[in-house]
Structure 1
Amino acid sequence: MKRMILLLAIITLQHTCSNIDTLQSVAEQYCKGTDPRQVAEFREGIRELNYDLIGESEVWAGLVIKINQWE
């Protein structure tokens, strides 16, 4: 029996928001899943990671936010 080892690493990306970006649209762009619940969870993960910048508000043009992804 062969065993496979799967290695994952979390990487942090930076995204500069445009005037048409929303937190939802950014999550849809970077989330690897398509299920609405996955995207919603990913969106809230972005909010949590950047809470010191955006709190409960939306993103704005020129704002640079961090996004974590598994690779």
Structure 2
Amino acid sequence: MEDTMLIQLTDKKAAKLLRDLEDLKIIKVIKENIAPKQKLSDKYRGSISKEEGEKLNKHIEDSRNEWDRNI
């Protein structure tokens, strides 16, 4: 059986328990200290000004309307 799980430890005691399980050959720790993936919306929030964002949204809307007219 080779199921893989990603878990988040909420207590330091859990790390010791996992190490004990690994010593008993019940589990295998593959990676440690993996940071959860950051959502792109959080990562890039604030990277452009509100005005630039509004211009970009207007451009996207205009492009979609032009595309729809040409179909």
Normalised-by-shorter TM-score class: under 0.3
Higher relative contact order (CA 8 A, sep 6+): 1
Specify which structure has the higher proportion of helix.
2
Larger Rg: 2
